[in-house]
Structure 1
Amino acid sequence: MGTLLTILAVLFLALLIIIPLAEKYAPKGEGRDYSKITRWIIPLMALVLVLQLFRHYFM
């Protein structure tokens, strides 16, 4: 249990350090076009659902 808490604490501290640095040094470009990504969300979620059902019943 102590090992788990240590790992979680290290991950939390890493996030506290990495996220501000990533936001600070991220390239400042034009806004992204998310329409290309959003058209794939429903089919990918359906695929994940089918794969999880397969995994649940056959493995």
Structure 2
Amino acid sequence: MTLLIILACVFGVVALMVVLGERFGKPMSNEQQAKFSKLSWVLVFMILVGAIIKEML
């Protein structure tokens, strides 16, 4: 029963984020999208390297 309550809370919070993001969010320009795209590749690479190092130790 507790798991269902936690799942319902998580679902509610995600739904709230989507509604608020659609209502108050503004579209990004192409330059911002390109910048975030480049940054996300770097961050994913860093997380992968960190996970590999953590598993090796």
Structure 1, unaligned runs of 5 or more = none
Name the structure where helix makes up a greater proportion of residues.
2
Q: TM-score, normalised by structure 1?
A: 0.63
Identity fraction in percent: 25
Runs (4+) of structure 1 exceeding 3 A deviation are none
Q: How many residues align?
A: 55
After superposition, the CA RMSD in angstroms is: 2.2
| Structure number with bigger Rg | 1
The 5-angstrom pairing of residues 1-59 of structure 1 reads 2-24=1-23, 26-28=24-26, 31-32=28-29, 33-58=32-57
